[in-house]
Amino acid sequence: MNFRITDKKKAIIKRVYKISLVLIGVVIVLFNDTFGKLEGFVEFITLYFLVLFFTFFYWLFKQIKSIIRLKNEKTKTELMHLKSQVNPHFFFNTLNNLYGLVGKDAEKAQELILKLSDMMRYSVYDGEKDTVLLSEEVTYLQNYIELHKMRYHKTIDIQFNIDITDNDHKVMPLLFIILLENAFKHGVENLRKNAYVHLNLTAHQNAINFEIENNFDATEESQEEGIGLQNLKRRLELVYPKNHTLTTSKTDDIYYAKLNITNL
């Protein structure tokens, strides 16, 4: 953490220092007038400086503690704001599809409503937590994929390979959904045929690796970094500042992203 003393705090420190010098001068005068010599003065002035020293550093400790608290509160506020921006595009699109499906296939619409309800509950309630179980994140991704399969009237090659040795890993909620959402938003939605999304999630010991690859229509839209990806990068910086790597690449009509988190 970068600790910066503001001009106001510098002025307070200077004022305390000047007052201390004045008090020392007063003490010297009083002791000279009272005793005429410096008997016991060394012990007194030593005690005085010790009291002054501890008083000053107690004040400094309180200031640093206050700054750390304010910084943590600011970080939590920013994280909550970033989480609230996750996947509104998906929910709006699903509701639009649901509206058209209710009159045509009531049974399928009911199934879609239940899955959407579970996802919204997770996004609203669990999304506010600091951490969730990795298995819960996996379930959220699987529900997202199932909802998309129900939405589209075309064949999509979706593969989700999972290799997790410990389901008790705890991670930041809504961690992978932005990468998956981008794969559908920029890839599947714009392709009439041969669309695919391939995912790999591995978790061993204290490390998690998430890879996702999808194709897209290079003639219609280039898959560039948008608000969602910027959102994810900022959240990773706040929660895993030195323990993550996020890389993306694009070749021809294929987009690839890889997220690695260590020291969990």
Which string of DSSP letters, residue by residue, matches the chain? ------HHHHHHHHHHHHHHHHHHHHHHHHHHHHHSS-TTHHHHHHHHHHHHHHHHHHHHHHHHHHHHHHHHHHHHHHHHHHHHTSSHHHHHHHHHHHHHHHTT-HHHHHHHHHHHHHHHHHHHTGGGSS-EEHHHHHHHHHHHHHHHHHH-SS-EEEEEEEEES-TT-EE-TT-SHHHHHHHHHHTGGG-SSSEEEEEEEEEETTEEEEEEEEE--TTT------HHHHHHHHHHHHHSTTSEEEEEEEETTEEEEEEEE---
Q: Could you tell me the pTM of the whole model? A: 0.67
Query: Could you tell me the residue ranges of all domains in the chain?
Result: 7-82, 85-261
Q: pLDDT tens-digit profile of 64-91?
A: 766 666 555 555 555 555 555 555 666 7
- State whether CATH 3.30.565.10 applies to domain 85-261: yes
Q: pLDDT tens-digit profile of 37-67?
A: 545 555 666 666 667 667 767 766 666 766 6
